[in-house]
């Protein structure tokens, strides 16, 4: 009963708007390792093992795995047993069927086995299993979505931390520069060749640079705490390297159609749609009767010593056909509700696909433009460094002042800070590209984990996933 599932036909563009000349097929690998930072690799591995959100998502998968087991059990008969003993005393003040001289006390002992089985004539159980399997796979994809967010979150936080470390170093160099300028200005004032105004202006510049340091240190502390939360550990310092040591990963290869099979959120949305589609069939079977078989076979006697006698055998076998003649529109209402929810999940799936395409396009644009800005900032730094060198040469030749040298070197630090931010944005945009592309690395990682742990439930989920894909 009910419609068979067909993936909605969505008009996908043949290629991304932004070209990817340096694209490589890395989306299905542990892409963060392309940064070449063992410290980042270790942090991500810790997060994948201990992140609380990921652990909660794993527990939800276990719940839906159990639900599928319960649903699948409906395909099989139920076999049980009964062992009972009873003593009854009948009243002699009303008709009781006792003959004169019979004892009013009666014993009853019974041992029996029972068998019940609902024959799945209309596919209700099969559709229910199909829905339960899809709900399990949806939850599994949701867990992988959390995994993707955790990895991206750790990488993003790490990149921001290493950038802040460099900004702090630059801020301290700038403070030292202003302190040197203050000392020089004060010496001139004391020597009679300077003014008090110049001294106070230099002192104000020192305080301005000093005021930049505490906010950077505060941001570092906040990010370290955020990283600790991602790692599932108590707040504390985070070991990290310098941003200069990080390599620039290549772009992942892919076309728009890949998001349908790489992104966990889209795959989860499709499994939700499969489940909703199957629930229509479950609702429609309520129009048809249910055929059940049942049997009881056992032993019964009024005295334990006769319980296993051949004449104590008892049993029955039968079947029943039960259906609904009139329900006041309840069945029709359930079907309409299931159909409406299925239409809702179609729209949700389409929205997820469109949102994914927009996210990928935006991340590609960001990667392209941040790379261009980083290149421009690198040229500006080189130009300013050359200007500072020329100013120092003029100073050494007596044609410029030390103040001019310090000002030129301070401009170099300012431009280096801008270049540093551009470098950070380039690396962050790459993380966004990998996150938006999804990737098969999560599936491969799960397979390795399941093989190493011998997790039977996880292996069953893998077999279920393969069956669903077939």
Burial (CB count within 10 angstroms: exposed 0-12, middle 13-18, buried 19+), residue 151: buried
Supply the pLDDT for residue 121.
84
8 A C-beta contact, residue 158 and residue 149 = no
Reported confidence tier of residue 260, pLDDT bands at 50, 70, 90: confident
pLDDT for 33-74, tens place per residue?
989 999 999 999 999 999 999 899 989 998 988 888 888 888
Q: What is the share, in percent, of the chain residues with pLDDT greater than 70? A: 92
Q: Maximum distance among all alpha carbons in the chain?
A: 140
Q: Rounded to whole angstroms, how far apart are CA atoms 21 and 439? A: 19
Domain segments of the chain as ranges: 23-78+123-289+337-469
In DSSP notation, 94-110 reads S---PPTT--SEEEEEE
Reported as half-sphere exposure (CB side, CA atoms, 13 A), residue 429 has a value of 23
pLDDT for 64-116, tens place per residue?
888 888 888 888 889 999 998 888 777 666 666 667 767 777 788 899 899 99
Q: Rounded to whole angstroms, how far apart are CA atoms 444 and 97? A: 74
Supply the pLDDT for residue 449.
72
Eight-class DSSP state of 98: P
Mean residue pLDDT across the chain: 86
8 A C-beta contact, residue 301 and residue 109 = yes
Residue 347 pairs in a beta bridge with none
Q: Rounded to whole angstroms, how far apart are CA atoms 96 and 88? A: 12
Q: Does pLDDT of 156 surpass 90?
A: yes
pLDDT for 292-320, tens place per residue?
889 999 888 888 887 888 888 888 888 88
Q: Rounded to whole angstroms, how far apart are CA atoms 58 and 157? A: 23
Reported confidence tier of residue 456, pLDDT bands at 50, 70, 90: very low
Q: Rounded to whole angstroms, how far apart are CA atoms 111 and 81? A: 8
Q: Rounded to whole angstroms, how far apart are CA atoms 139 and 272? A: 9
Side by side, the strands of the sheet bearing 105-119 are: 78-89, 105-119, 290-301, 313-322
pLDDT for 325-369, tens place per residue?
888 888 899 899 999 999 999 999 999 999 999 998 899 889 889
CA angle in degrees (0–180, nearest 5) for 17-18-24: 120
Q: Rounded to whole angstroms, how far apart are CA atoms 160 and 154? A: 10
E-assigned strand segments in 180-278: 251-252
Q: pTM higher than 0.85, yes or no?
A: no
Alpha helices in 397-440 (DSSP H): 402-437
CATH superfamily of 23-78+123-289+337-469: Outer membrane efflux proteins (OEP) (1.20.1600.10)
**3-class state of residue 421 by DSSP:** helix
Supply the pLDDT for residue 202.
87
């Amino acid at each position: 009963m009910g419609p068979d599932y067909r993936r909605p036909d969505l008009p996908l563009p043949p290629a991304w708007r932004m070209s990817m000349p340096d694209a490589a097929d890395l989306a299905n690998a542990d892409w963060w390792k392309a940064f070449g930072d063992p410290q980042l690799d270790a942090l991500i591995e810790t997060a994948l093992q201990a992140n609380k959100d990921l652990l909660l998502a794993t527990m939800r998968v276990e719940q839906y795995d159990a639900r599928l087991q319960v649903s699948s059990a409906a395909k099989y008969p139920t076999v049980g047993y009964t062992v009972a003993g009873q003593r009854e005393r009948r009243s002699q003040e009303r008709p009781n069927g006792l003959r004169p001289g019979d004892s009013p006390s009666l014993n009853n002992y019974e041992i029996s086995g029972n068998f019940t089985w609902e024959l799945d004539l209309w596919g209700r159980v099969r559709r229910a299993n199909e829905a339960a399997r899809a709900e399990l796979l949806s939850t599994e994809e949701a867990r992988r979505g959390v995994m993707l967010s955790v990895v991206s979150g750790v990488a993003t936080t790490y990149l921001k931390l290493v950038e802040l470390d460099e900004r702090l170093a630059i801020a301290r160099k700038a403070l030292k520069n202003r302190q040197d300028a203050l000392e020089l200005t004060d010496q001139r004032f004391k020597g009679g060749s300077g003014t008090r105004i110049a001294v106070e202006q230099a002192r104000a510049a020192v305080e301005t640079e000093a005021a930049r340091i505490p906010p950077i240190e505060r941001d570092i502390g906040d990010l370290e705490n955020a990283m600790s939360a991602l790692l599932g550990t108590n707040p504390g310092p985070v070991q990290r390297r310098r941003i200069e040591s990080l390599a620039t990963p290549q772009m992942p290869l892919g076309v728009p159609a890949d998001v349908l099979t790489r992104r966990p959120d889209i795959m989860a949305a499709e499994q939700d749609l499969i489940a909703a589609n199957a629930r229509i069939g479950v609702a429609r079977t309520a129009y048809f009767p249910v055929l059940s078989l049942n049997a009881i076979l056992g032993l019964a006697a009024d005295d334990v010593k006769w319980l296993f006698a051949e004449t104590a055998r008892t049993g029955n076998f039968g079947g029943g056909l039960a259906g609904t003649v009139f329900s006041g529109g309840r069945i029709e209402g359930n079907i309409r509700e299931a159909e409406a929810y299925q239409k809702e999940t179609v729209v949700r799936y389409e929205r997820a696909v469109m949102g994914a395409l927009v996210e990928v396009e935006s991340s590609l644009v960001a990667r392209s433009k941040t790379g261009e800005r980083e290149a421009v900032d690198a040229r500006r730094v080189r130009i300013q460094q050359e200007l500072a060198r020329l100013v120092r040469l003029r100073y050494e030749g007596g044609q410029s002042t030390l103040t001019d040298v310090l000002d030129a070197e301070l401009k170099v630090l300012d431009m280096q800070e801008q270049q540093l931010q551009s470098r950070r944005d380039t690396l962050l945009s790459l993380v966004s590209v990998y996150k938006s592309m999804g990737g098969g690395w999560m599936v491969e990682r799960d397979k390795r984990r399941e093989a190493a742990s011998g997790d039977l439930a996880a292996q069953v989920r893998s077999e279920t996933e393969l069956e669903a894909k077939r």
